[in-house]
Amino acid sequence: MKNFENEKHLLNYDEIDKLHREFLDIYNSVDSSSIDSYIQKLTALLQQSKRHFNVEEELMDKYSYPRSREHKDEHRKVLAEMQYFINNTNSLFGKKMLKAYYNEKLGDWFDLHLLSMDSDLTAFLKKAENGIV
């Protein structure tokens, strides 16, 4: 369980904060006793992340964010990881690997990505929207 914590997760950029809350709402809604729930939730997170990243990337392009290549590469990497684990659920081992990825990596990735890349992006966007950059 990973709650949205204002002091940790709030970037004070409404559109992106809303997307981050949606991600955590889906992430936390998994039934930890059901492998099928893990598959369903990761599939939902993949779809939400595609929309989420599209919003961020449109903002990057609109305001000529100077670190967009690295940020977009990170988006592609995590989407590919999610898809990989979803695609390999045809065996018990693959299902267990998806569950481990979900529990042990995805939540930590979310925090790190938000605290590093997304915080940098939103700081830039706020300046750009105020004509400072």
Of 85, 88, 108, the closest CA to residue 24 belongs to: 108
Contacts of 52 (CB under 8 A, 6+ apart): 19, 20, 22, 23
Average pLDDT (103-113) is 96
Q: Which helix (H) or strand (E) holds 66?
A: none
Distance, CA of 61 to chain centre: 19
Share of the chain above pLDDT 90, in %: 92
Of 46, 39, 6, the closest CA to residue 23 belongs to: 46
pTM above 0.75, yes or no: yes
Tokens of 26: 């889906």
Instruction: Please say if the pLDDT value at position 133 is more than 80.
Output: no
pLDDT higher at 8 or 87: 87
CATH class assigned to 12-130: mainly alpha
Domain boundaries, the chain: 12-130
Place 1 in a pLDDT band, splitting at 50, 70 and 90: confident
The pLDDT mean for the chain works out to 96
- Write out pLDDT tens, residues 34-56: 999 999 999 999 999 999 999 99
Average pLDDT (4-33) is 94
Residue ranges of the alpha helices (H) in the chain? 6-9, 14-28, 35-62, 68-87, 92-101, 107-113, 119-129
Cα separation, 68 vs 58, whole angstroms = 10
